[in-house]
A and B are shown apart, each in its own frame.
Chain A
Amino acid sequence: MHEYTGYTGQSLQFLKSNEVAVGNSVKIIADLTFFGIIMPRYEHSDDKHIVLKLNSGYNVGLEIEKIKQVEKLTTVEKNIEENEKVEKNPNLPKILLLSTGGTIASKVDYRTGAVTPILTADELNSSVPELAEMANIDTQVLFSEYSENIIPDHWIEISNKLVEYSNSDYAGILIAHGTDTMHYTSSFLSFALAGFPIPIALVGSQRSSDRASSDAALNLIGATKFLVECKTKGIYVVMHNDESDETIACHLGTRVRKNHTSKRSAFKTVGENPAYLIFKEKILKNTTKDFFTSKEFNPKINLDSKVALVKYYPGYDPNLLEKIIEMGYRGIIFEGTGLGHVGKTMYDTVKKAQSKGIFLGMTSQCIDGRISMTVYESGRDLLDLGIIPLENMIPEVALVKAMWALGNLKETNDIKEIMLCNIASEIS
């Protein structure tokens, strides 16, 4: 905590001239007399108030204009207690918990007043004592980012870190991740780390861990139970199955989507039941196939982020597509209508893209269901223009896969081939 966090202009001047700072216990005389602790101020606030945490625990803003006197009180400095170290039991399996940030690791941020990812993996671990009963958990913070701030470079960073542990004695690896883009990350890991010998579970939460009703604890417990008991490989997203703190759903990392802005059960496997359901006493398996097609672990951690996801809509201006071509993009994934269509107005530009050797793939904005471009005439036209129908791949997954394919392969035909080759259950 900075001494004057968030205070600017008049309010900063006010604190300095009264020789008090954030964290000080003070007596303030205004229209009434107040006792409390000076708290940080949020960045979007004005410079005419100071924030005081009253002894009752309430925070209030006091107008500096009305303050007659500020008196600093001597108090015993509060030592924030250390986290209790979790005792390890040598008979339990080992699990690695990597933290990347997100709501699951969030608490109040004095910059904006909203929550920010700053809890460490260690804190996370010690706040859910049930974890220590199932496994010995080592923790590591990779970075602390909300998932909307995660970029493909982060995917590479996570992948490289995971490769370091591919030969380790960990029974499984937990990745604490923000939920907004969790399925993009899980997709990239699925392709880049195909065949990874240890199961990996991405875990997030829809309610931050600083609230008593957080879903984080049960998601972590469910994911840990899964990793310890599942005896399988793959990249999974593990979250609440419904609004109850009861059943945890384990989704294939390439078949999952965030389908609700705020519910605990926001994540859904598209068109299927979740691969596993985790209950308190048992794990229910809904899948028969292996997650990875290949049994070998052969990491390919490269990508080319010059791939665009284009959602077609009535009246889409083909000039937008022109721009994408001009900008040197190497791949375009269409999120077409219905079975996989874009309007006639697009044909010329699509032809142009094709002639430049840009990879063109078709997915559907229906999200669920397979692309079928031979049913209607427009679909056949588009096939002739060289658009590849990407089966029932989820648009975001197709985007990530194309980035990965372009990063690792040069020949257009190889790229087309690998896009249609099922690597990590992305096509079902």
Chain B
Amino acid sequence: MSELNFEEIGLKVGLEIHQQLATNKKLFCNCKPVESDEFTNKFQRKLRAVKSELGEYDPAALFEKSKSKTIIYYSHPQSSCLVEEDEEPPHELDNDAKDLAFVISSSLKSNIFREIYPMRKTVIDGSNTTGFQRTMLISQGGFIEVDGEKIGVQSICLEEDAAKLLGDKGVIREFSLDRLGVPLVEIALEPVEGKPSKIKKIALSLGKLLRSTKKVTRGIGSIRQDVNVSIKNGGAVVEVKGVQQLDQLEKIIEFEAKRQYGLLKIANKLQDSNFEKISEKNVFVITNDWKNCKSKIIQKALKDNSVIKAIKIPNFSGMFGFSPFEGIRLGKEIAQIVKFFGIGGVFHSDELPNYGIEDDDIDIVKNLLKINENDAFLIIAAQENKIGFAINSIINRINHAVEGVPAETRLATSNGETIFLRPRPGSSRMYPETDIPPMLITNEEIELAKKNIPKPWDKSIEELKEKYNLNTQLAEQIFDSQYFEIFEEIIKKILINPIFVASILCSTITNLERNGLNSQLLSNEEITKSFKFLENGKITKESIEIIFENIMSGKSKTIEDALKDTEIEIVDEEKLEKIIENIVNENKELIQKQKERSIGPLMGIAMKKLRGKASGENINNLLLKYIKTNLEN
């Protein structure tokens, strides 16, 4: 079966959306949420797993701890302060962010709690300097209507965004603090049954609702989707994180559904076999026995003083390699888990002999572990301090195979698959934020939020079309783009055709981006300035694209520099006429042949010379004039 029937396998998907709020300030300090690419300070930390309020350790936290990484943070005073460095307690919660979260809750008819408790959600992968993310449950319940169906809202939280990962080099992880603490609203929807395309539609609708507030950040990275995926009888719910683009969403849900259904088939097969759960008793050290193994991987491990261990799994032969769907195998699952401990991989009996491991080596293991033809084994080589954690995870994973899908947090990959990230965190990851007292919410605040519920997205688009005379496509594009605010500002300040501004901001910049240029280099200030220059006749319409191209490719920082760099300057009327006259004189033959139609090719020649230096309209008129005189003579 190549196509999965999603209804038959009982696919359920719960969507979780994280949307940055454009409050222009971080949630617990006054720092601006600006991206930095230069840093003036760096420091290093280690994080430790700590017990929860109820005295337990969180499984995900223990897992991260077992990897024992050193974390290096980079900061810049323009975007972070002592709060982000965890060198100062948080300041008061930003009221604008709170009010906006209430507005979003009200738009979704979600019930706002009257007493809100800031909590610490344990995250010790280094993405938060504190070792936790500050988060608060704002409301529960409510719904969003999509194609006439009400999709329930589980919860809405207000929280801090995490630090940005700069790099992961084995034992060292690097983050920058510019994004840490930016306010986020997390909306978790009830799981729904149906096809992956339906989920995409829901995500689109929710995104539109958020953008209707006009106070959320737009553009890449400002909205992130997680999905909680499960199938009927499959076992646990799997959380897939980091779906950056909506286009990816369907593909990832399809892959995850297939993976889970595959794991279910593996489980069914195991349930029919004589497989019994394994324990540490099944683990053997074979470092000395494999001294003469010719495999390069093993030889390298021996040189590094690694330990080599073999795990015997009775009645498991063929199970590592069994592949109910292409790319879905237990062997692959286990390889992904050990990778997260910084271990290259494992060898299992279904793939051997291979990788330089020969029959003799296999026989050694078989004899030592007393392996018969129904049994499987697995070889792992790693440093002593890492191998224990890795082997525990492998044993757990193998034992869980008989039950189906393990509860995990997985990461979406760019090719539309999901890979193991960490065990699923439990409720023990939550701890009260002792630095901030709980907040009582007044009736006035709730009423204000209700009053500020934004117009529906469709209505906003209609208004936009009417107000600026835009067509539907352009209105939708500009409303959903990161340039919406600046668009309205430009129209307010500068006398200019809104359609022209909208299409520059939507299509021109996007086109340049598609050519590999960086729109981050183009600041709102420079965009405004360029339209101002146009209004004052300092540049032509055609110059804007040339200027943006120059800035976005990093050649210049400001409009003024770009003008110099590209040698764009308006040519005065007299000079222009001279140039046009010359062009006409040089092409007399063509004009005689093509008569008035020669304007086409001549325009091409003229634009090449004059692009950005004179308006196209002006050039066209002058050309016509000179062609006519030429023909009359």
Q: Which of A34, A245, A261, A264 contacts B46 (CB 8 A)?
A: A245
Q: What does DSSP make chain A's interface, helix, strand, loop or mixed?
A: loop
Binds A, one of B82-90, B299-307, B559-567: B82-90
Q: In the complex the two chains form, what is the Cα distance from A261 to B89 in whole Å?
A: 10
Q: In the complex the two chains form, what is the Cα distance from A31 to B142 in whole Å?
A: 11
Contacts of B434 in A (CB 8 A): 108-109, 113-115, 208
Known: A244-B45, A264-B87. A56 touches B155 (CB 8 A): yes
B30-64 interface bits toward A, Cβ cutoff 8 Å, 1 = contact, 0 = none: 00000000000001111111110111100001000
Contacts of A76 in B (CB 8 A): none
B111-A217 in contact (CB<8A):
no
A61-B438 in contact (CB<8A):
yes
B427-A49 in contact (CB<8A):
no
How many Å from the CB of B236 to the closest CB on chain A? Answer: 15
Contacts of A63 in B (CB 8 A): 114-115
A324 within 8 A of B: no
Contacts of B87 in A (CB 8 A): 243, 262-264
- Nearest-CB residue, chain B, relative to A106: B434
Contacts of B430 in A (CB 8 A): 53, 56-59
A62 within 8 A of B: yes
Known: A115-B434, A212-B122, A263-B82. A56 touches B48 (CB 8 A): no
Q: Which of A54, A59, A61, A213 contacts B130 (CB 8 A)?
A: A213
B50-A214 in contact (CB<8A):
yes
Contacts of A209 in B (CB 8 A): 50
Q: In the complex the two chains form, what is the Cα distance from A262 to B83 in whole Å?
A: 10
A59-B119 in contact (CB<8A):
yes
Q: In the complex the two chains form, what is the Cα distance from A363 to B490 in whole Å?
A: 62
B138-160 interface bits toward A, Cβ cutoff 8 Å, 1 = contact, 0 = none: 00110000000000000101000
Contacts of B61 in A (CB 8 A): 212
Contacts of A208 in B (CB 8 A): 434
Known: A61-B115, A262-B89. A245 touches B438 (CB 8 A): no
Among A51, A78, A115, A213, max chain B CB count under 10 A is at: A213
B18 within 8 A of A: no
Binds B, one of A38-46, A402-410, A419-427: A38-46
B113 within 8 A of A: yes
B431 within 8 A of A: yes
* Residues of chain B in range 109-149 having any CB-CB distance to chain A below 8 Å: 111, 113-117, 119-122, 124, 129-132, 135-137, 140-141
A203-230 interface bits toward B, Cβ cutoff 8 Å, 1 = contact, 0 = none: 0000111111110011000000000000
A73 within 8 A of B: no
Known: A212-B124, A263-B87. A31 touches B116 (CB 8 A): no
Contacts of B141 in A (CB 8 A): 31-32
Contacts of A78 in B (CB 8 A): 54-55
Contacts of B49 in A (CB 8 A): 212
B437 within 8 A of A: yes
A60 within 8 A of B: yes
How many Å from the CB of B269 to the closest CB on chain A? Answer: 34
Q: In the complex the two chains form, what is the Cα distance from A218 to B48 in whole Å?
A: 11
A327 within 8 A of B: no
- Nearest-CB residue, chain A, relative to B123: A212
Contacts of B48 in A (CB 8 A): 127, 212, 214, 217
- Nearest-CB residue, chain B, relative to A32: B141
How many Å from the CB of B409 to the closest CB on chain A? Answer: 15
A58-B43 in contact (CB<8A):
no
* Residues of chain A in range 38-92 having any CB-CB distance to chain B below 8 Å: 42, 44-46, 49, 51, 53-63, 78, 80-81
Contacts of B258 in A (CB 8 A): none
B131-A212 in contact (CB<8A):
yes
A153 within 8 A of B: no
Q: In the complex the two chains form, what is the Cα distance from A109 to B437 in whole Å?
A: 12
Contacts of B111 in A (CB 8 A): 31-32
Contacts of A348 in B (CB 8 A): none
How many Å from the CB of B431 to the closest CB on chain A? Answer: 7
How many Å from the CB of B81 to the closest CB on chain A? Answer: 11
B132-A212 in contact (CB<8A):
yes
- Nearest-CB residue, chain A, relative to B131: A212
A61-B429 in contact (CB<8A):
no
Contacts of A115 in B (CB 8 A): 434
Q: Which of B45, B89, B432 contacts A108 (CB 8 A)?
A: B432
B428 within 8 A of A: yes
Q: In the complex the two chains form, what is the Cα distance from A80 to B428 in whole Å?
A: 13
B440 within 8 A of A: yes
A61-B131 in contact (CB<8A):
no
Known: A78-B54, A212-B122. A51 touches B117 (CB 8 A): yes
A113-130 interface bits toward B, Cβ cutoff 8 Å, 1 = contact, 0 = none: 111000000000001000
Q: Which of A49, A56, A80, A263 contacts B55 (CB 8 A)?
A: A80
A3 within 8 A of B: no
B117-A108 in contact (CB<8A):
no
How many Å from the CB of A105 to the closest CB on chain B? Answer: 13
- Nearest-CB residue, chain B, relative to A206: B87
How many Å from the CB of B70 to the closest CB on chain A? Answer: 8
Contacts of A290 in B (CB 8 A): none
How many Å from the CB of A392 to the closest CB on chain B? Answer: 29
- Nearest-CB residue, chain A, relative to B64: A212
A133 within 8 A of B: no
B46-A57 in contact (CB<8A):
no
Contacts of B435 in A (CB 8 A): 114
Known: A61-B438, A113-B432. A56 touches B427 (CB 8 A): yes
Q: In the complex the two chains form, what is the Cα distance from A127 to B48 in whole Å?
A: 9
A317 within 8 A of B: no
- Nearest-CB residue, chain A, relative to B155: A56
Q: Which of B44, B113, B124, B137 contacts A245 (CB 8 A)?
A: B44
Q: In the complex the two chains form, what is the Cα distance from A136 to B137 in whole Å?
A: 44
Known: A59-B117, A212-B131. A242 touches B43 (CB 8 A): yes
A157 within 8 A of B: no
Q: In the complex the two chains form, what is the Cα distance from A80 to B440 in whole Å?
A: 32
A272 within 8 A of B: no
A155-168 interface bits toward B, Cβ cutoff 8 Å, 1 = contact, 0 = none: 00000000000000
Contacts of B114 in A (CB 8 A): 49, 61-63
How many Å from the CB of A278 to the closest CB on chain B? Answer: 15
A417 within 8 A of B: no
Q: Which of A31, A46, A114 contacts B440 (CB 8 A)?
A: A46
- Nearest-CB residue, chain B, relative to A260: B87
A246 within 8 A of B: yes
Q: Which of B51, B86, B429, B438 contacts A57 (CB 8 A)?
A: B429
Contacts of B155 in A (CB 8 A): 56, 58
Q: In the complex the two chains form, what is the Cα distance from A374 to B45 in whole Å?
A: 49
Q: In the complex the two chains form, what is the Cα distance from A209 to B51 in whole Å?
A: 10
Contacts of A113 in B (CB 8 A): 432, 434, 437-438
Q: In the complex the two chains form, what is the Cα distance from A127 to B116 in whole Å?
A: 31
B116-A61 in contact (CB<8A):
yes
- Nearest-CB residue, chain B, relative to A218: B46
* Residues of chain B in range 425-452 having any CB-CB distance to chain A below 8 Å: 426-432, 434-435, 437-438, 440
Contacts of B440 in A (CB 8 A): 46, 61
B45-A213 in contact (CB<8A):
yes
How many Å from the CB of B61 to the closest CB on chain A? Answer: 7
How many Å from the CB of B56 to the closest CB on chain A? Answer: 8
Q: In the complex the two chains form, what is the Cα distance from A355 to B119 in whole Å?
A: 60
Q: In the complex the two chains form, what is the Cα distance from A42 to B115 in whole Å?
A: 12
B438-A42 in contact (CB<8A):
yes
Q: In the complex the two chains form, what is the Cα distance from A212 to B129 in whole Å?
A: 9
Q: In the complex the two chains form, what is the Cα distance from A127 to B50 in whole Å?
A: 8
A60-B428 in contact (CB<8A):
no
14 of the cross-chain contacts (CB-CB < 8 Å) are A32-B141, A45-B115, A51-B117, A53-B53, A56-B137, A56-B427, A57-B429, A59-B438, A61-B440, A127-B48, A211-B120, A211-B130, A211-B131, A243-B87
Other 6 A-B pairs with CB < 8 A, given A212-B61, A212-B122 = A31-B111, A57-B429, A60-B113, A113-B434, A213-B86, A243-B43
User: Which 7 pairs show the lowest CB-CB distances between chains A and B?
Assistant: A61-B115, A212-B131, A57-B430, A57-B427, A59-B117, A58-B137, A80-B55
